[in-house]
Structure 1
Amino acid sequence: MAAGVRLIGPAVLRVRVHLVGSDPEIWRLFEIDADLRLPEVHDALQTVMGWENSHLHEFLDFDPDLYVNVTPMRPRRWASALLREDDDEGFYLAEEDFALRAVLTHQVPLFYVYDLGDNWLHRLDLIETLPKAPGEPSVTVIRGERRCPIEDSGGVDGYDHILHVLEDPADDEHDDLSEWVTSMHNNPGRPFDATRYDTRSVNQALRREVPTGNTRTQRK
């Protein structure tokens, strides 16, 4: 379907997400039910990317690294009830009140920050809008490249540093970081491989974790 065409009924959004600043780029192409609410989108992104869902997150309709001027209508940020507990000034909108189709368009990308300390910034771009068939899975990964970084590895720069040290056995930090990566990787049956992304296993996990259905949600 051509860009800019908006479906009124059940729809699937074909989306490309990448980890901003990653080089080589860490990215995924996936399809997702347009009517999933942002908390469900968060859960889907955790599985699609390979995160462990152990930190806070937020959604934004602007790039926080580039946006400067703030008008009364923008920017918009969405967060969970947990993050909104201390938001006395109403900084955040309730993420559970918004469906994905209401905040991601061909004209405006959506940004997702996971771990507000390491600040893993993701950009979601809408590629195509398609009709959703009955019984179609809510989320399906088409393809992607490279595993996501290790949790708590210090953001994009910290993770890059770890990868460079792992490649150099002569580095003073090599042994300590190798041991740490092994403990954090938590998969003794498969050695850590930063280049690997297994679409099949991710889709199997999505079938278990993200319900399938055409339940419509109220949109804002």
Structure 2
Amino acid sequence: MLLVDSHPEIWRQLEVRGSTSLGQVHGVLQVAFGWEDAHLHRFSDSDPFAPLRPIDGEIPETLQWLPKQWCEEPGDRAEEDCSLDQLLARGSGMAFYEYDFGDSWLHRIELISRRPATKTAPRARLLGGARRGPLEDSGGMPGFEEILDSLADPAHPEHIEHSAWVAERIGTNEPFNPGFLDVEAINRQLLWSCKDDLARGSKPDYS
């Protein structure tokens, strides 16, 4: 999974059960990128920002998958009723996930391979990746890159302001390292996320 327009690239390689609902996939992606689930999100089977081309003289219907309570438009589908496998099948192995419609963090999901699941394997596991996810409310990729530039340059006119903002965001005055990715910590969080689902009565599908 790649965060679109990130340079250097911010990506995650995840092992996720195909039967996992998109609502649960949303939770996995929030953990994997360090998001706080503070904004709206959606899934789509094609790039939501690509220009639509007419088919037989008609613009095809654009579908998106959202939490059931947000579905209002004809093209809206409930994410709780669709699995990751079903979404990827519609997009021939590719799909998109957008988080925060203001900052518009667009992620491209690509199927790399399949293998049989075992009953003891976790519902989701991070295998690898690069760089930490951008901070919430940092203004999309252009805003986040501007923040990183100011942090790296003590003479930057916004260095002090951005340094204080980042420290408040991450809860520490330690230097912010955008290249750091703690795979083990993320996998621990993913295990706890699964336990939370069980506590709420939502059992992972191990079929």
How does the TM-score come out when normalised to structure 2?
0.88
| Aligned pair partner of 2:129 in 126, 144, 159 | 144
| Segments of 4+ moved more than 6 angstroms | none
- Say if 2:115 is the partner of 1:130: yes
Indicate the percent of aligned positions where both proteins have the same amino acid: 37
Contact preservation (8 Å) 2:194, 2:204: no
- Structure 2: distance between partners of 1:141 and 1:37: 18
Task: Give deviations 1:122-152, integer Å, cap 9, x for gaps.
Answer: 0000000110011210001011110000000
Stretches of structure 2 lacking an aligned partner (at least 5 in a row):
196-202
Deviation at 1:75, TM superposition (A): 2.5
- Aligned-pair RMSD on alpha carbons? 1.8
**Residues 169 and 118 (structure 1), Cα distance of their counterparts in 2 relative to 1, 3 Å cut:** same
Deviation at 1:187, TM superposition (A): 4.0
Contact preservation (8 Å) 2:63, 2:76: yes
- Say if 2:31 is the partner of 1:47: yes
Contact preservation (8 Å) 2:96, 2:107: yes
Contact preservation (8 Å) 1:44, 1:210: no
More helix by share: 2
Q: How many residues align?
A: 196
- Structure 2: distance between partners of 1:116 and 1:83: 14
**1:153 maps to which residue?**
138
**Residues 91 and 107 (structure 1), Cα distance of their counterparts in 2 relative to 1, 3 Å cut:** closer
Q: How does 1:1-220 map onto structure 2 within 5 Å?
A: 17-69=1-53, 74-84=61-71, 87=72, 89-105=73-89, 107-187=92-172, 190-211=174-195, 213-216=204-207
How does the TM-score come out when normalised to structure 1?
0.83
Stretches of structure 1 lacking an aligned partner (at least 5 in a row):
1-16
More strand by share: 1
- Structure 1: distance between partners of 2:113 and 2:52: 29
